[in-house]
Amino acid sequence: MLNTKNWIRFLDLRFIAIVFLMLACSAARAEVVELRPAVVEKDGVIRLEYRSGETLVGRSTDAAPAGVELLLPGEKAVPVSFRAKSEGDGVIDL
């Protein structure tokens, strides 16, 4: 027969086991996914996309093709469009 002290200890061990199992399962499913930016030209405007391998996983909006908006005090946000790019030493300048 379990007294109150043993019953609490039993519940504590059960709780710890459940938490450990949940952490072990979530860690087993975790993996590293490479996410890299890509610069794409469309209709004369430079756009930003994000890819994982060859799969497109995200892109900038049509409202702000480069993913950049300029916000001045008291003004509405204005999208910034880049029309030229240069590359060198692993850096892309827009």
Q: What is the pLDDT of residues 31-64, one digit of tens each?
A: 777 888 888 888 888 888 889 888 888 888 877 8
Is the model's pLDDT at 9 over the cut of 80? no
Is there a single domain that holds both residue 80 and residue 41? yes
Residue 22, domain extent: 1-31
Is there a single domain that holds both residue 27 and residue 46? no
| Rounded Cα distance, 48 and 9, in Å | 56
Is the model's pLDDT at 8 over the cut of 60? no
Is there a single domain that holds both residue 20 and residue 45? no
Residue 25 lies inside a defined structural domain of this protein: yes
Is there a single domain that holds both residue 20 and residue 59? no
Q: Which residues of 42-71 are buried (b: 16+ CB within 10 A; e: fewer)?
A: eeeebbbbebeeeeeeebbeeebbbbeeee
Is there a single domain that holds both residue 27 and residue 40? no
Give the containing element (helix H, strand E) for 46: strand 45-52
